[in-house]
Structure 1
Amino acid sequence: MTVQATAPVDTQDHALVRDWFKELSDHVQAVDFAAARHLFAEDFIAFGTFSNFVFGRDNAEANQWRKVWPTIDSFLWRLDDVQALVSPDRLFAVGLAVWDSTGYLTDGQAFDRKGRATVSFARTAIGQPWIATHTHMSLFRGTPDVSHGNKPSKS
């Protein structure tokens, strides 16, 4: 058997990966932490701007999400460009995506805040929604790593 990174992916599996990214962007825009929790395994592991490793969804929310989501606007994934790699048993996947958002300097001036993410997913049965087991999100080079917006959170 030859391993291929670009092996064909079932269209439903790919659509569900895109759906995950779309739903996350909706929750980020709404600054709704509680609504986003079900997208992540309780014990997921993240890389992020503020910590090398973040273990667990609660820690990611407290130490990553709550430091970023209220400070940015217009967070959207480039959904047409989302890539998916899916295991042969279709219970594990990796999603790759690029986002656009607006950040704010200390003087309130807006800047383009673009970045990319790699997300690993698992699920217990084919056709079920994907649950993130790992995320690695990073800003494009030259992008300020802190935004100073201040939106209220919904949850």
Structure 2
Amino acid sequence: MILRREPLPDDIEAMRRWFKSLEDCVNAVDFAAGRPLFAKDMIAFGTFSDFVAERDAVEREQWRNVWPTIRRFHWRLADVKGIVSADRLSGTGMAVWDSDGFHPDGTRFDRRGRATVAFARHQIGAPWVAVHTHMSLFRGTPAVSHGRFSGAD
């Protein structure tokens, strides 16, 4: 694969839209709305397992263990970085997030991290779909949040 040195603004903006869509799903704790953002046969690195294959397993083992336990999840969209293939059908997006996590006693802590997302699409201009994700917390951030929220909170 030959990479473009300067991704086109449209491709990076499409990555920003993907990150914003995921942000909205996380904050609403809306798993169903999040599914189309990810390929059915995706592979992820997980907090709770080394590799998680298939979107349904990622939802079960990752999303459902995290999304309902955090609040105010927000990507730093202006800082999204990307690498895009010469044919513009695959790419990698990188972003940093901020959120609120909660200790067992209910006190809030800053829950910040970063993500690398491998994207694919069938045609130029189509929305990106994640085929791989690697999300990790910044050093020193507690690994588990203990909040219990629903999208209605």
Normalising TM by the smaller chain, what interval?
over 0.9
Aligned residue number for residue 89 of structure 2 = 91
1:115-126, aligned counterparts within 5 Å? 115-126=113-124
Aligned residues: CA RMSD:
1.5
Aligned residue number for residue 74 of structure 1 = 72
Q: Distance in 2 between matches of 1:93 and 1:5?
A: 9
Q: Distance in 2 between matches of 1:140 and 1:12?
A: 29
1:1-155, aligned counterparts within 5 Å? 7-152=5-150
On the 8 A contact 2:3/2:86 being kept in 1, the answer is no
Give every structure 1 segment of 4 or more consecutive aligned residues whose post-TM-superposition deviation is greater than 2 Å.
3-6
Aligned length: 152
Q: Which runs of 5+ in 2 are unaligned?
A: none
Q: Distance in 2 between matches of 1:26 and 1:127?
A: 22
C-alpha displacement at 1:48, in angstroms? Answer: 1.8
Letter paired with 1:62: R
Q: Which runs of 5+ in 1 are unaligned?
A: none
C-alpha displacement at 1:132, in angstroms? Answer: 0.2
Q: Distance in 1 between matches of 2:2 and 2:86?
A: 11
TM-score relative to the length of structure 1: 0.95
